[in-house]
Amino acid sequence: MAQSQIIILKKDKSIDYHKEADEFMNILDRAKNEHDVQKYIKDNKKWFIPGSLFHEYDFGHHEAMIIPEFRLGAEYVADYLLLGRNSTGRQIVLVEFEGVNVDFCQKSKNEITVAVRNGITQIHDWKRWMEYNKQYMIQNTELSEYLPVLPGWAIRYCLVVSRRSRMTEMANNLRGEIRLNELISVVTYDRLVDDIRCLVNGF
């Protein structure tokens, strides 16, 4: 199972993270879809942008790595796999980027929009695949060097979708339900901008 190279993430003193956050915000405001955002990140190798999601978790402080376009067998591809470590050991986050300037929930009814539903469905597919193929994945990728085993509690899932300005009270309630019931972290792209600013203190 061929994979992209593991990229080690470290604070870079030559980078002005506040300036990078402002620039990324401009990209978001102009983006027609998530592919515009992905192109900006990948063309410029700004791996610290998705890597800043480590600030949403309690690991990654001792060690932070990222693999773009991480393949789960021949069926699925996660936009990013984050590999981090804290005092309890190494853990991973599988990340899905979805629609940028889209609503989180439908205005006419209290239901999530297609963009959010697509992201959750994708992550459900990953979860099912991981349930049966986790050890195969570890043994056949670069992760074998870092993860001899991967307990269920060490696997997280994150969906990046929508904008803060589009998050109504109902949208926030639905997001909370997804986190509680589906065990999926859901963050807006604006939260990602906040996380980039936090990189002044490291990963």
Sketch the domain layout of the chain as residue ranges: 13-197
Average pLDDT over the chain reads: 93
Single out the residue of 64, 66, 128 nearest to residue 95, CA to CA. 66
- How high is the pLDDT of residue 4? 63
Q: pTM for this one?
A: 0.94
pLDDT tens digits for 102-111? 999 998 788 9
Residues 129-133: contacts with CB under 8 Å, at least 24 apart: 129/72, 129/73, 129/75, 129/76, 130/72, 130/155, 133/72, 133/73
Q: How far apart are CA 55 and CA 191, in angstroms?
A: 10
pLDDT tens digits for 68-107? 999 998 899 999 999 999 988 999 999 999 999 999 999 8
- Binned at pLDDT 50, 70 and 90, residue 113 comes out as very high
Averaged pLDDT, 166-170: 93
Strand partners, 112: 105
Domain 13-197 has CATH 3.30.70: no
Averaged pLDDT, 147-159: 91
Return the SS3 of 96. strand
Strand partners, 97: 160
